[in-house]
């Protein structure tokens, strides 16, 4: 049975929110809502914000001219209108655009005999500045988001389980394809698996931390060349009792990435040099994408005066001898072997 992913391989969270009743909460933070919209909707809102304000104030300028009788005295040179050369709604709309954008062509201009027009001019200037600040700010933040920077942060297509220093470790590889390196990069890993508590409560998609060096500081990466992220399977690991046979039948998902702000899924966040912003990248591995008894092939080679990384083998693994038992059984076997050696050495010393 094909398992539904919680996080896709490209890092997108496969979660959709339905039956959200308190939609007003999106409007209380309208700035973030506009920034989070897709580009086509953001551009539509951007265009409508200006078009609606221009049409709204253009209609008011035309209404003032209509109420004052300016439209009935277009050929009367002795008549002082509110706005010179305003002869209909189209000219009122153009005057509204000129006022809000401060173009000032000089053909249409407000006179000093129209106090209501002066008040409207001040109001449109203030509201127009607010619209400009809000919409330009939204577009600037949306353009400056470093989401595309995460496209060059790559994760290996598979995770592997093999021995490192006689300890079973779960490993995956990360790399940065760009020469402009990311500063303050860190790594996290989560196990996504449904479970049932002792009280009978079923918890779908329960999240458990996988230690990748947070206690020792090894989670902070110097990501100049591809690195292999290792999770040691010890007594604190959720894989402590998992053997190769159990792994093949198990149903779980491992999400690897770096912690950052602005996302609910376990992301990958890095500060861009000189920008002070974060970008996010993540990937996931299902149970059938974890290869037991494999190791990643080396990518780094020493050339004349520099190190070269061959990304052609970034996803490649090779089989290595690895016990099929669980980490608990391996540790118990090692303890028995050490105990046997401890008691056998003195007995040998006692022999004549």
Give the chain's radius of gyration (CA, Å): 33
Longest dimension (CA), the chain: 135
Classified as helix, coil or strand, 235 is: coil
What does the pLDDT read at residue 225? 87
Model's pTM, two decimal places? Answer: 0.70
Provide the pLDDT for residue 304: 84
Contacts of 84 (CB under 8 A, 6+ apart): 108, 109, 110, 111
pLDDT score for 146: 63
pLDDT digits over 184-233, tens only? 778 889 999 888 888 888 988 888 989 988 888 888 888 888 999 999 99
CB atoms within 10 A of CB 208: 13
pLDDT per residue as tens digits for the range 35-72: 888 889 999 999 999 999 999 999 999 999 999 998 88
Say which DSSP state 310 is in: -
Residue-level pLDDT at 173: 93
The reported pLDDT for the residue numbered 106 is: 81
* Predicted local distance difference test score (pLDDT) of residue 34: 86
Give, in order, the Cα–Cα distances in Å from 248 to each of 75, 244, 287.
90, 6, 7
Nearest Cα to Cα of residue 210 among 231, 186, 227:
231
- Spans of the chain, pLDDT less than 50: 259-276, 348-352
Element (H, E) at 227: strand 227-232
In this structure, what are the phi and psi dihedrals at residue 22, rounded to the nearest 5 degrees?
Answer: -90, 60
Which pLDDT does position 1 carry in this prediction? 55
Length of the chain: 352
Question: Domains of the chain (ranges plus CATH)?
Answer: 37-144 (1.10.287.70), 149-342 (2.60.40.1400)
User: What gap in Å lies between CA 224 and CA 185, rounded to an integer?
Assistant: 11
């Amino acid at each position: 049975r094909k398992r539904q992913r919680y996080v896709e391989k490209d890092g997108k969270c496969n979660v959709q929110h339905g039956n959200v009743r308190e939609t007003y909460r999106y409007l209380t933070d309208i700035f973030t809502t506009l920034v989070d919209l897709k580009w086509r909707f953001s551009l539509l809102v951007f265009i409508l914000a200006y078009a609606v304000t221009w049409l709204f104030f253009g209609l008011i300028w035309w209404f003032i001219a209509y109420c004052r009788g300016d439209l009935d005295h277009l050929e009367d040179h002795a008549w002082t209108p509110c706005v010179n050369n305003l002869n209909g709604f189209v000219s009122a709309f153009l005057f509204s655009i000129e006022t809000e954008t401060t173009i000032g062509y000089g053909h249409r201009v407000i006179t000093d005999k129209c106090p209501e027009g002066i008040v409207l001019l001040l109001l449109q200037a203030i509201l127009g500045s607010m619209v400009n600040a809000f919409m330009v700010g939204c577009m600037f933040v949306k353009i400056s988001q470093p989401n595309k920077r995460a496209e060059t942060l790559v994760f290996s297509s598979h995770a592997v389980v093999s021995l490192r220093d006689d300890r079973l470790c779960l490993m995956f590889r990360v790399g940065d394809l760009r020469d402009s390196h990311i500063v303050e990069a860190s790594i996290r890993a989560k196990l996504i698996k449904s479970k049932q508590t002792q009280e009978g409560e079923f918890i779908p998609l329960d999240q458990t931390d996988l230690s990748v060096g947070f206690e020792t500081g090894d989670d902070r990466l110097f990501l100049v060349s591809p690195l292999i992220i290792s999770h040691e399977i010890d007594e604190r690991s959720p894989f402590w009792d998992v053997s190769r046979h159990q792994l093949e039948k198990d149903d779980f998902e491992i999400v690897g990435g770096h912690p950052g702000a602005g996302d609910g899924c376990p992301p990958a966040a890095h500060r861009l040099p000189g920008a002070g912003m974060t970008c996010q990248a993540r990937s996931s591995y299902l149970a059938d994408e974890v290869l037991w008894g494999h190791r990643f092939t080396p990518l780094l080679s020493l050339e004349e005066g520099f190190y070269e990384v061959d990304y052609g083998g970034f996803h490649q693994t090779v089989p290595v001898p690895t016990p099929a038992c669980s980490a608990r059984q391996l540790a118990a076997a090692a303890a028995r072997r050490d105990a046997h050696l401890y008691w056998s050495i003195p007995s040998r010393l006692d022999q004549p």
